[in-house]
Amino acid sequence: MISFSQFFSSSIGRKLIMSMTGLFLCLFLIVHLGGNLTLFAGDEGYTFNIYAHFMTHFPPVEIAGYILYISILVHAFYALMLTLANRKARPVKYAVASKAPVRWASLNMGLLGSIIFLFLIIHMSNFWGRYKFLEGTYREYRTDLQNGQMTTTVYQPVSPEFEYSVTTENNIEIVRVKDLYEIVTTSFSIWWYVLLYLVAMVAVSYHMYHGFQSAFRTVGVVHKKYTPIIQLTGIWFFAVIIPLLFASMPVVFYIKSL
């Protein structure tokens, strides 16, 4: 009978950890996409900035965020271990390489994961890092509560500790918040960053094409009734729809900046 530590250091244990962290990251993709789609709200970044403030200041969400970061590191670490183990077990490549997308994705999960991991480092330092740790700019939104009309201007906080405020004056709601929307629009006006984002989404697409259904097989969810549903979900939702929606954001904002 093997011990707990021996099981999770074995090939099966590593694959199980990869699967569980991978499925958790799939859930994150859905939540992250929903929040990011508020970029298209057409309200000068009001909804997106409120969402960004909530995600970085609400304690339960912050805790979930740190669990996410740990999951990414664990997923990447075990992916590296499995890739090295597979190469050691089979140092000679296959004589005939399959051109099928799922086969190609399966054989290149290490490469795809490396591209995604590199992108995450750049992406998080550019958005989350700048927003969380640098001063940045602030935006003031004034909404007339009678007719719903909104005006927006740059806001300069009096105190360096200022984070967020909501007040009402003469039936005008005044919201002052840190402006992540400005960071996003500026970043998406840079061609090489947009290109990097698109390459990363292609990598995500192929990674999910194989990874989603593989994760369910690893945890033992194999059934003639449900497996086809899982496969279709992995292909169309996670490998097509989600990457396309993410990719639409930098493309749309880059075109607007021209």
133-167 pLDDT per residue, tens? 877 789 999 999 999 999 999 999 988 788 899 99
Alpha-carbon span 129 to 49, nearest angstrom: 15
Asked if the model's pLDDT at residue 200 lies above 50, the reply is yes
pLDDT surpasses 90 at 183: yes
Based on the number of CB atoms within 10 Å of its own CB, is 190 exposed (0-12), middle (13-18) or buried (19 or more)?
A: middle
Q: How many CB atoms lie within 10 A of CB 202?
A: 13
**Exposure on the CB side of residue 136, measured as CA atoms within 13 A:** 24
Q: Are 165 and 195 in contact (CB under 8 A)?
A: no
Q: Are strands 164-169 and 138-144 parallel, antiparallel or unpaired?
A: unpaired
Is residue 243 within 8 A of residue 206, CB to CB? The reply is no
Fill in the amino acid letter for 67.
I
Write out pLDDT tens, residues 94-115.
Answer: 444 445 555 555 666 777 778 8
**Where in the chain are the domains?**
7-90+97-134+179-257, 138-178
Decide if 172 contacts 84 (C-beta within 8 A).
no
Query: What CATH architecture is 7-90+97-134+179-257?
Result: Up-down Bundle (1.20)
Q: How many CB atoms lie within 10 A of CB 195?
A: 12
Kindly indicate the confidence band of residue 6, based on its pLDDT and cuts at 50, 70 and 90.
Answer: low
